[in-house]
Amino acid sequence: MVVRRSDTKERIEQVALELFVEQGYEKTSLREIAERLEVTKAALYYHYRTKEDIVHGLIDDLVGSLDELLEWGRAQPRPAQAREEVLRRFATLVEGRFGPIMQFIQQNMPAMKELGVKHSLGEKLAALFQLVGADEHDPAMQLRTRLALVAILLSNAPMFGAPQVADVSTDLALQVALELVAPRESF
């Protein structure tokens, strides 16, 4: 189980993430983060010395949550039968902190590449794609399982600069995802 950060660190990460999404990573300073938190820079430095440290903290938390999900899914005796629960748990993650972090990453790709954070997150997402496609030999079903994950991701973090689709909740995305992976009759 992943050890959760202190309330103070979580609050710093939350405020920093808000600012990073609002103004961009490069345009956000530690001073602005401290001001929004209504603390001194010295108090902020006690927990995080740099913006990079904050980003790594955000990504580490996310990767830890994905590790927990992957560990649970892999421990199931029949991963294909646990697929729906994996999707439900992933939707819960996306509805929480994952969505804003993904939005932040997409809006700040050059900085993320420089910080090297995309690699660890990319590995975990690739493992999740593998897990939901476990035991599938039909190429169409393999594609459906991957699209199910993408549907959940898009509900909270539109990709490629596309605006978020109105009225698409994580619940609706999960419903679509579950329909994609539902067993199909032969035509």
Residue-wise pLDDT tens digits, 83-112: 999 999 999 998 887 888 888 887 788 888
Which SS3 state, helix, strand or coil, does residue 146 take? helix
Average pLDDT over residues 136-165: 78
Question: To the nearest whole number, what is the mean pLDDT of the chain?
Answer: 84
Domain that holds residue 88: 54-181
pTM, to two decimals: 0.80
Q: How many domains does the chain have?
A: 1
Instruction: Specify if 17 maps to a domain.
Output: no
Please tell me the least confidently modeled range out of 11-20, 36-45, 127-136, 164-173.
164-173
Place of tokens 């790709």: 109
In degrees, rounded to 5, the angle at the alpha carbon of residue 117 between the alpha carbons of residues 112 and 120 is 150
Place of tokens 């689709």: 165
Cα separation, 151 vs 176, in Å, equals 7
Q: Strand, helix or coil at 147?
A: helix
- Taking a C-beta distance cutoff of 8 angstroms, is the pair 98, 65 a contact? yes
Residue 163 or 121, more confident:
121
The answer to whether residue 34 is domain-embedded is no
Q: In a 3-state reduction of DSSP, which class is residue 35? A: helix
Residue 34 has pLDDT above 90, yes or no: yes
User: pLDDT tier at 54 (50, 70, 90 boundaries)?
Assistant: very high
Tell me if 162 is assigned to some domain.
yes
| Residue 18 covered by a domain | no
Q: Is residue 1 part of a domain?
A: no
User: Any alpha helices (H) in 24-116, and if so which ranges?
Assistant: 30-37, 41-47, 51-75, 83-93, 99-107, 109-115
Please indicate, yes or no, if residue 81 is contained in any of the structural domains: yes
Q: Is 108 part of any domain? A: yes
The answer as to whether 99 is a domain residue is yes
Say yes or no to pLDDT of 36 above 90.
Answer: yes
The tokens of 107 are what? 């809006």
